[in-house]
Amino acid sequence: MVFVQIFQILLSIGALIVAILAFIRTKTARRTESYRLIKESVNLLNTLALQNDENLRIADRITAQESNENDTVEEIKERWIGFIILNVLESIYLAKHYGELDHDYAENALDKLLPKIVSNDKIFNLLKKRGYDQNFVHYCENIKR
């Protein structure tokens, strides 16, 4: 009789642990999905900005903290395209961090792309000014060193 009661208690504890882990996993997945949707919206706006030089100058003047009216269109495009690439790489980093992307695939992508990106000081400076995940920023800083 005692054995059955102990077994029932252990089953209840196990079920509780499974429920808690499922809740945590779901919460993380929701957060990641929300983050991804925001990034998609930002990149849609980036696409609009990059459609033509006039849109680019307007978007840069309105949103870019690094904006300078003397910047050439090429300099502005470089900054905006760098921003888009950083968004993609941050998404890869976060998906890897939350276990939603194959670790080796993510590491391979980050190892191949990030060193060149962070070697560009103008693009690297965007990391500190554009609201990137602090763990991603530290990851990039370590690569730049």
Q: What is the pLDDT of residues 26-40, one digit of tens each?
A: 766 777 777 777 778
For residue range 57-104, list pLDDT tens digits in order: 888 888 766 667 788 989 888 888 888 889 889 989 988 888 878 889
What's the longest Cα–Cα distance across the chain? 84
Question: What b-and-e string marks burial along 14-45, b requiring 16 or more CB atoms within 10 Å of the CB?
Answer: eeeeeeeeeeeeeeeeeebeebeeebeeeeee
Q: Judge whether residue 43 has pLDDT over 80.
A: no
Residue 116's pLDDT band (boundaries 50, 70, 90)? very high
Contact 119, 73 (CB under 8 A): no
Cα-atom radius of gyration of the chain, to the nearest Å? 22
Domain extents in the chain: 33-144
